[in-house]
Every structure is written in structure tokens, then in C-alpha cells.
């Protein structure tokens, strides 16, 4: 009997689990080693005092990438994960008390924008059509292929995509393009915000990132009925059912390879576990620093321009608020200054605040008459920062802003509170300095020049949000697909 080849995945983030499912289908004996006692990486949950919180990502787009994993084994995703499409994507609030609800029905959203912002509906529709155009002409090469392999460029479809690059505004910033299109500060701010989906700055990042709204408006925004963490639970159950072995509370100390730069396996404590393939789902910088100490880190990772981190407050609120939706944004008055302050590590007295209330959709996430608030602001990932004081200051700033914009004295309705800052994000997910998405996309080509999914060591690969093609659930799933395509059956 022929012995199965073995694959080890380091880390059980969504990309790591997806990679394991794919390699298991290819015939590998597949093992996932996870330092924590639970799967998920940055996708975590917390259950306290009758409240359930998703502690990481809160929005799902392009669920077809999840469907693909189940279809590999001719199974139905609905048997593992319940997902529904949202009619209302997000409610945006401004300091002057105006607000607008972004709707999945583009015509309705364009109509509301026209009424509230005195702008032609056609401008919104044309913008989202351009977003779709960018996606249709770039995703095949920039999201689904390894940009670091010559073979990726040897097709007519790819050549056609490359020839269209001059039409995609790569050498203009998001803000420059959006400001010119809308000539309206509020709409510009709404669409500039999509740069933050991979932790970037719209005043620096390429307008190619205007592809991101396509995911929400044209493809759709989704919510798993039992919360985002139910995706991890469903994928883990499916993976186990198909034979993937999970090893929790097991930290990999080093990746072992031969003098001929070929994978041998991994070191755990004093033991070396042999493997034909190793895939690191750990943050790419920490993969080099902790797992590959003898290899010189690529220059691009030595002093990287990191994506933003966050301070997150998890609040059990003893009150329901009809004015709020599942996803809510309270914008700052001066968005440019806000990003400048983040970059300089200066406290923002008027930060943009994201409030996610999953109990709006999943009623069991909070006790009756209560809500679970996930309240987040972006900050710069910095080691040895005075985070305790910064968190304390921001807590008061956020209370005041919520009172000013929403007229809710939330401080008086708190019955539970947990706080997460960059230190916690780094310690629980091994993300370098608590950066949410690894290197930022603040340079014109940086979105396409992330670390490759393979390495100079034969049979060593990388997946996850810190490598190509980028951060967030859909791109992390794409990275698993790319690794799968790089590995032979």
C-alpha cells in the first residue's frame, strides 16, 4: 500500500483551514497545528454574561469561495453554515446628524444618495459599474494567481487584463479619484472608507482599491445566521469529517529544512515531526522571525508600512436602539486629518467609529431588551506604546461622540465590557505588532506585490491575510486556493 504524503499547516485561521481542506482532497494526510485551544486565528468569539461577540471580522462577502470548499466533496454548505444576504449593508452617520443607509439594491441606494446629497443617481451607478469593471479585469490575475510565477502570465486572458491597467487609475489615489467623481465630501468619505478594509489610507492607496465596493454592492454583503465565528465552526467540523487532524494547544517552534533547502518538517518542543509539505498560516513577518530564524527576511518585510490595528470595545448594552443597524459607521469631520493622526500616532479627538451589533440579526447574541456592541476605532500598530492610557482616553472620546451623534448615553447602559488593543490582537493571532492585515496597500503597486505564497525552500508555502493577495475573509480564501494550485496532487 502506498503511504500518503503528509501536509502540515501551521495555524488554523480561515485560510489555514481552507488550505487543509483542499490538500486533504488532493490526497495528503493533513494536520493543522494551532497554538490556541480553539480554531479561527483572528476570527474568534466570546460568550460572557449572556452576550456573544464576534471578536474579529464582522462582515462576509463572496461566500461562493466558501461554497467551493464544500463542493470539492460534493457537500452542501447549508449543512454546516447558514448564510443570508443583507438588504441593508451599513448605516453611515455624520457629525451634522445626517445619515444614509447603504442598501444592496443599488438603484434604491443611488436614489437615496440623490435626495440626501443632491447628486445624480447615475454617478453612483456608474461608479459601482466601474468597480465591477475593475474586478472583472483584475481578479483573474491579481487575486486568483500567484503574481510571482511566470506561468501565471502566459495566457491571453491575463495579457488582456494587463493591457487594461492604464484604465484602472492605479497611479491615482482613491481620494483623488473619488473626490473628482462625486464632488461631495460625504459620498467621497463613504467610498474612501473602503481602503480601511485592508488597513490602508485612502489618501495614499491606489484607486485600484475602488474594486472593494463591488464585493458589497454588486456581489452582496452577507451575515452567517449564527455569527461570523460559525464559519470557522462549520469549516472545522467539515474538515474533521473529511479526515483533517487538528492539534490544539500545540505551538510550532521552528520550520525544519535540509541543507538542500527542502522541507523536512516542523519542530515542536524537542520533537521533529516529518512532513512532505509545510504551509504557514502565521503572519508572514512572524513566520520569518519565529519559525525561520536562519533565513534572512525579505527587505520588504524588514521595515514594512503596516496596515492599521484597532482598539475594540465589546459592550453589553442594557438597551435596544432602533436607530442603529447591524453595521454602523460614525464618521469623523476631517477624514484626512484622522488618517494623518493615525500615521503620527496622535490621539484622534474625533475618530471614525464602527459599531457592529450582531444581535440585530441573531437575537440570541444578547439578552432580551439588550444589545451586543462591537465598537472599533483604527490605530497605528506600535510596540511599547502607552496602550492603557490611550485606551482610557479613547473610551471617553467614544462615549462623548456617541452621545453627540446618536444621542445615546451608552455609558449609563453598560452591564458588561471587554477591551482589546494591538497587544491582545498580536498575542491571540500572532499578527505582527497587532497589524490587522499585514503590510498595507499604501503604495501604488503594494496591493499586488505582497509576499508570495511560496518560498525559496522547496515545499514550504504561505497562506493568509499577510501574504498575496491580501487581508480579509475573501482574499484569505483566495490565498488558500493559490497555495492549492501551487502544490501538485
pLDDT of 467 > 70? The answer is yes
Q: In what order do the strands lie in the sheet with 271-274?
A: 254-257, 263-268, 271-274
**How large is the average pLDDT for residues 49-67?**
97
- Report cis status (omega within 30 of 0) of the bond before 454: no
The residues, any chain, with a CB within 8 Å of residue 292's CB and separated by 6 or more, are 254, 255
Q: How far apart are CA 224 and CA 232, in angstroms?
A: 11
pLDDT interval class at 155 (50, 70, 90): low
Q: In what order do the strands lie in the sheet with 83-85?
A: 60-61, 221-224, 83-85
pLDDT of 146 > 90? The answer is no
Return the pLDDT at 145: 67
pLDDT interval class at 147 (50, 70, 90): low
pLDDT mean across residues, the chain: 93
Q: 254: closest CA among 428, 460, 479?
A: 460
Strand (E) or helix (H) holding 158: helix 156-163
Return the pLDDT at 104: 94
Cα separation values, 300 from 439, 444, 452, Å: 9, 15, 12
Return the pLDDT at 105: 94
Return the pLDDT at 152: 54
Weakest mean pLDDT among 279-288, 379-388, 389-398, 476-485: 379-388
pLDDT digits (tens, 9 = 90+) for 320-349: 999 999 999 999 999 999 999 999 999 999
- pTM, two decimals, is 0.94
- Say which CATH superfamily domain 6-79+226-303+443-486 falls into: FAD/NAD(P)-binding domain (3.50.50.60)
pLDDT of 358 > 80? The answer is yes
Would you list the domain boundaries of the chain? 6-79+226-303+443-486
Q: How far apart are CA 313 and CA 379, in angstroms?
A: 13
CB-based contact 447:441 (threshold 8 Å): yes
CB-based contact 221:459 (threshold 8 Å): no
Weakest mean pLDDT among 144-148, 213-217, 230-234: 144-148
Q: Which three cell numbers stand for residue 487?
A: 502544490
Helix (H, G, I), strand (E, B) or coil at 407: coil
CB-based contact 419:375 (threshold 8 Å): no
pLDDT interval class at 357 (50, 70, 90): very high
Q: How far apart are CA 455 and CA 473, in angstroms?
A: 23
Instruction: Give the position of cell 503604495.
Output: 443
Q: How far apart are CA 8 and CA 20, in angstroms?
A: 8
- Using DSSP bridges, classify how beta strands 414-420 and 245-247 pair: parallel, antiparallel or unpaired: unpaired
Helix (H, G, I), strand (E, B) or coil at 315: strand
Instruction: Give the position of cell 482613491.
Output: 174
Amino acid at each position: 500500500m502506498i503511504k500518503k504524503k503528509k501536509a502540515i499547516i501551521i495555524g488554523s485561521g480561515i485560510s489555514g483551514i481552507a488550505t487543509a481542506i483542499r490538500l486533504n482532497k488532493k490526497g495528503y494526510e493533513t494536520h493543522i497545528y494551532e497554538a490556541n485551544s480553539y480554531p479561527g486565528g483572528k476570527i474568534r468569539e466570546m460568550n460572557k454574561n449572556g452576550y456573544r461577540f464576534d471578536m474579529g471580522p464582522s462582515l462576509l462577502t463572496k461566500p461562493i469561495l466558501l461554497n467551493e470548499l464544500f463542493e470539492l466533496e460534493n457537500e452542501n454548505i447549508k449543512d454546516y453554515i447558514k448564510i443570508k444576504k443583507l438588504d441593508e449593508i451599513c448605516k453611515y452617520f455624520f457629525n451634522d446628524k445626517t445619515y444614509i443607509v447603504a442598501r444592496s439594491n443599488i438603484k434604491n441606494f443611488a436614489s437615496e444618495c440623490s435626495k440626501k446629497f443632491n447628486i445624480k443617481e447615475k454617478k453612483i451607478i456608474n461608479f459601482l459599474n466601474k468597480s465591477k469593471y475593475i474586478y472583472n479585469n483584475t481578479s483573474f490575475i491579481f487575486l486568483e494567481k500567484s503574481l510571482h510565477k511566470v506561468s501565471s502570465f502566459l495566457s491571453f486572458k491575463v495579457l488582456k487584463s494587463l493591457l487594461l491597467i492604464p484604465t484602472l487609475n492605479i497611479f491615482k489615489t482613491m481620494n483623488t479619484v473619488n473626490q473628482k467623481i462625486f464632488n461631495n465630501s460625504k459620498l467621497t468619505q463613504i467610498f474612501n472608507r473602503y481602503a480601511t478594509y485592508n488597513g490602508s489610507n485612502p489618501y495614499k492607496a491606489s484607486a485600484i482599491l475602488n474594486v472593494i465596493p463591488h464585493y458589497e454592492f454588486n456581489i452582496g454583503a452577507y451575515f452567517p445566521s449564527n455569527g461570523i465565528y460559525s464559519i470557522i465552526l462549520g469549516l472545522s467540523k467539515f474538515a474533521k469529517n473529511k479526515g483533517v487532524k487538528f492539534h490544539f494547544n500545540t505551538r510550532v517552534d521552528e520550520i525544519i529544512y535540509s541543507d538542500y533547502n527542502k522541507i523536512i518538517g516542523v519542530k515542536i518542543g524537542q520533537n521533529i515531526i516529518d512532513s512532505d509539505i509545510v504551509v504557514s498560516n502565521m503572519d508572514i513577518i512572524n513566520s520569518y522571525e519565529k519559525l525561520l530564524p536562519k533565513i534572512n527576511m525579505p527587505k520588504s518585510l524588514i521595515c514594512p508600512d503596516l496596515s492599521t490595528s484597532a482598539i475594540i470595545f465589546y459592550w453589553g448594552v442594557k438597551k435596544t436602539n432602533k436607530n442603529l443597524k447591524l453595521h454602523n459607521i460614525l464618521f469623523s469631520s476631517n477624514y484626512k486629518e484622522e488618517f494623518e493622526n493615525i500615521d503620527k500616532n496622535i490621539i484622534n479627538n474625533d475618530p471614525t467609529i464602527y459599531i457592529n451589533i450582531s444581535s440585530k440579526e441573531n437575537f440570541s447574541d444578547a439578552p432580551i431588551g439588550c444589545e451586543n456592541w462591537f465598537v472599533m476605532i483604527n490605530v497605528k500598530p506600535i510596540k511599547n506604546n502607552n496602550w492603557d492610557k490611550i485606551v482610557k482616553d479613547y473610551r471617553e472620546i467614544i462615549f462623548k461622540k456617541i452621545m453627540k451623534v446618536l444621542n445615546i448615553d451608552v455609558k449609563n447602559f453598560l452591564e458588561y465590557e471587554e477591551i482589546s488593543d494591538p497587544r491582545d490582537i498580536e498575542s491571540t493571532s500572532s499578527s505582527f505588532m497587532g497589524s490587522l492585515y499585514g503590510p498595507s496597500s499604501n503604495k501604488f503597486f503594494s496591493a499586488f506585490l505582497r509576499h508570495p505564497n511560496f518560498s525559496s525552500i522547496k515545499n514550504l508555502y504561505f497562506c493568509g491575510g499577510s501574504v498575496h493577495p491580501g487581508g480579509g475573509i475573501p482574499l484569505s480564501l483566495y490565498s488558500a486556493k493559490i497555495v492549492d494550485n501551487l502544490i501538485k496532487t
